[in-house]
């Protein structure tokens, strides 16, 4: 099934702040995601694409472990399957001055019911001709198992997306379940990306969310989602802005063994980089 968008329900005000549909919060609470046709302008999406391509082309953050292959062993910086950059806004602070950022911050407040405790971002590039999906997962499966989260990802495609080039798909209502069993991609602990490890999960009710460039989906940290392959001739670029309420310590014990088992090159680089930085600061 494909999500239907109502462009008339959204319009930019004179200050370019996007107005959210009146039922946005109700839909989000019910389904664990929403799709909106506009978070920023087409012109800004073009400017964001330039920044985005430059960050990946220059391998920004590779040394510090911020740039890596989401679905590979990350051994060859020139041949990543699905390159990702964490915290691109730390490298280009101008990203925090964009309309997309401002509207994402407003959307977070609107859907969380309170201002986000913090905001960060990352970028996931699905190269042209990529046969790979980003497999079904819940974002919370990557995080600290001892914490309770109310968090959200706002996924902004920088070109039009549909099922033919890697749009988002969600299972409505899946945010109300616990975290299901996950494993590293291909069951290889060198792979950063996770996938669900439970073939009994019913994925038949999935909703695909095609979007124009500069639109967005927003999903809860527990909502099951995946993106389709990108066999097209154009890279599929997505910028993801994340926020949430302050994470609380959980009373009950939980464990995410798939995270304990991880041995990624990205972690090795991050550790070596932090050590070198600390040593330089001590001189
Ligand atoms: O862009 C993608 O391929 C995956 C995005 C995703 O899983 C996320 O933003 O949580």
The pLDDT tens digits for 169-200 are 999 999 999 999 999 999 999 999 999 999 99
What pLDDT is recorded for position 8?
A: 46
**Pocket, ligand 1, Cβ cutoff 6 A:** 124, 126, 134, 139, 153, 155, 166, 225, 227, 238, 240
Ligand 1: atom nearest CA of 137 is: 7
From ligand 1's centre to the CA of 282, what distance in Å? Answer: 38
**Residue 84: phi, psi to the nearest 5?**
-135, 145
The first and second tokens of residue 177, run together, are 């379940």
What pLDDT is recorded for position 11?
A: 46
Task: Name the pTM for this structure.
Answer: 0.95
What pLDDT is recorded for position 4?
A: 59
Q: Is 198 exposed, middle or buried (0-12, 13-18, 19+ CB in 10 A)?
A: exposed
Give the SS3 label for residue 184. strand
Question: Percent helix, strand, coil in the chain (nearest 5)?
Answer: 30, 25, 45
Distance (Å, whole) CA 132 – CA 129: 9
From ligand 1's centre to the CA of 19, what distance in Å? Answer: 25
Domain spans of the chain, in order of start: 29-274
Class assignment of domain 29-274? mainly beta
Which residue, judged by its Cα, is nearest atom 1 of ligand 1? Answer: 124
What pLDDT is recorded for position 1?
A: 77
DSSP 187: G
From ligand 1's centre to the CA of 158, what distance in Å? Answer: 13
Which residue, judged by its Cα, is nearest atom 7 of ligand 1? Answer: 226
Q: For residue 153, which of 34, 247, 51, 27 has the smallest C-alpha distance?
A: 34
* CB-CB contact of 71 with 247 (8 Å): no
* CB-CB contact of 237 with 125 (8 Å): yes
Which residue, judged by its Cα, is nearest atom 6 of ligand 1? Answer: 226
Ligand 1: atom nearest CA of 226 is: 7
Give ∠ CA 22-220-54 in degrees, rounded to 5: 100
From ligand 1's centre to the CA of 280, what distance in Å? Answer: 35
The first and second tokens of residue 71, run together, are 């679905």
Distance (Å, whole) CA 268 – CA 276: 12
Give every residue of the chain whose pLDDT is below 70, as ranges: 2-15
What pLDDT is recorded for position 9?
A: 44
Give the SS3 label for residue 263. coil
């Amino acid at each position: 099934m494909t999500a239907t968008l109502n462009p008339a329900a959204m319009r930019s005000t004179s200050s370019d702040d996007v107005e959210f549909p009146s039922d946005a919060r109700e839909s989000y609470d019910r389904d664990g995601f929403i799709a909106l046709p506009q978070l920023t302008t087409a012109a800004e999406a073009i400017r964001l694409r330039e920044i985005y391509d430059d960050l990946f082309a220059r391998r920004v953050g590779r040394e510090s472990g911020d740039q890596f292959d989401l679905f590979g062993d990350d051994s060859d910086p020139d041949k990543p399957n699905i390159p990702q950059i964490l915290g691109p806004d730390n490298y280009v602070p101008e990203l925090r001055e964009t309309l997309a950022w401002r509207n994402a911050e407003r959307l977070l407040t609107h859907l969380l019911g309170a201002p986000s405790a913090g905001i960060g971002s990352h970028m996931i590039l699905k190269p042209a001709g990529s046969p790979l999906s980003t497999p079904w997962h819940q974002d919370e499966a990557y995080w600290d198992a001892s914490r309770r989260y109310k968090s959200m990802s706002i996924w902004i495609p920088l070109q039009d997306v549909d099922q033919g080039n890697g749009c988002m798909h969600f299972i409505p209502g899946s945010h109300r379940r616990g975290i299901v069993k996950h494993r590293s991609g291909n069951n290889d602990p060198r792979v950063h990306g996770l996938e669900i490890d439970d073939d009994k999960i019913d994925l038949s009710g999935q909703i695909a969310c095609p979007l124009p460039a500069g639109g967005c989906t927003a999903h809860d940290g527990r909502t099951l989602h995946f993106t389709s392959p990108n066999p097209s001739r154009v890279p599929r670029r997505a910028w993801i802005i994340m926020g949430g309420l302050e994470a609380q310590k959980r009373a009950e014990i939980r464990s995410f063994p798939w995270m304990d088992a991880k041995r990624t090159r990205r972690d090795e680089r991050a550790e070596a980089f932090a050590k070198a930085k600390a040593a330089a600061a001590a001189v």
